[in-house]
Amino acid sequence: MSDAALPPDSAAAPAATPASEPITPAQRDDLRRQGILLTSIEELYNWGRSHSVWPLNFGLACCAIEMIAASMARFDIARFGSEVFRPSPRQADLLIVSGTVTKKMAPQVIRLWNQMPEPKYCIAMGACAISGGPFKQGYNVLKGIDRFIPVDIFIPGCPPRPEALLHGLVQLQAKIRGQPLTGPDAPRHLRSDVECNCPIPEFGAHDLVPTQNPTVWQPPQPIVRPDKA
């Protein structure tokens, strides 16, 4: 691709658009159908990183079996650029929380998340990682990993099929491709005003201390039916 295609969209906008207006995605797609590739740094950058999301080689319970199946030949997560399961959090982009997070395991999961470099994403796979699932009323299960780390994609299921994991990955790619590189919606690694590390809870006498990270999770407002209140 020549350098001419890379400058900001406004310079290369078609004549129908005033020079000050950036090209809209619809116009860009229209041009692409005509065989003219017009792109931006932002689109190119996001396209590249959305297709090389490397997950952390990390499984917690039965959902991990489905995750392994998704990486094998039949479902082949390599089609989406995520076949490189990294054994080190320093090299991984994606944390797939695949399974039940016990309270004893939760600090280790959060420490792994903190050890991953930005840009990083988190998929909560399965009912247990989302909410505690069938163990929600147990004494030793964390009621959702989103209480401690920011989760990008929730994949329901118990466990989700490999197709569901692939769908979640495609959704994550769409989310990455839609991220602007500037402004308040920019990803965390391009901003200086957000804290990327999550505090690691301590083992308390009766529960984890604290029981949640209030910057990423707040108890939802109760919805009570009038006759049940």
Positions that interact with other proteins (CB under 8 A): 103-104, 132, 136-137, 139-140, 143, 203-207, 211, 219-220, 222-226, 228-229
Half-sphere exposure of 124 (CA within 13 A, CB side): 24
Judged by CB, which is closer to other proteins: 35, or 220? 220
Q: Which two tokens stand for residue 3?
A: 């350098």
Q: Which residues does 203 contact at the CB level (< 8 Å), separation at least 6?
A: 104, 107, 209
Closest CA relative to residue 75, chosen from 159, 161, 158, 154: 161
3-state secondary structure of 98: strand
Compute the least distance from the CB of residue 132 to other proteins, in Å. 7
CB nearer to other proteins: pick between 141 and 176: 141
Q: What are the phi and psi torsion angles at 141 (to 5°)?
A: -115, 135
CB of 152 to other proteins, least distance (A): 22
Nearer of residues 120 and 147 to other proteins, judged by Cβ:
147
Output the smallest distance, CB 187 to other proteins, in A: 30
C-beta closer to other proteins: residue 7 or 204: 204
Least distance to other proteins, CB of residue 133, Å: 11
Q: Is the dihedral of CA 71, 73, 74, 79 positive or negative?
A: positive
Smaller CB distance to other proteins: residue 60 or 116?
60
From CA 69, how far away is CA 28, in angstroms rounded? 38
In whole angstroms, the minimum distance from the beta carbon of 108 to other proteins comes to 12
Nearest-approach distance from CB 121 to other proteins, in angstroms = 26
Two structure tokens written together for 146: 């989103």
Bridge-partner residues for 97, per DSSP? Answer: 124
CB nearer other proteins, residue 47 or residue 203: 203
Of 98, 99, 103, nearest in space to 139 by CA: 103
Task: Strands of 126-224 (E only): list them.
Answer: 153-155, 202-203, 208-209
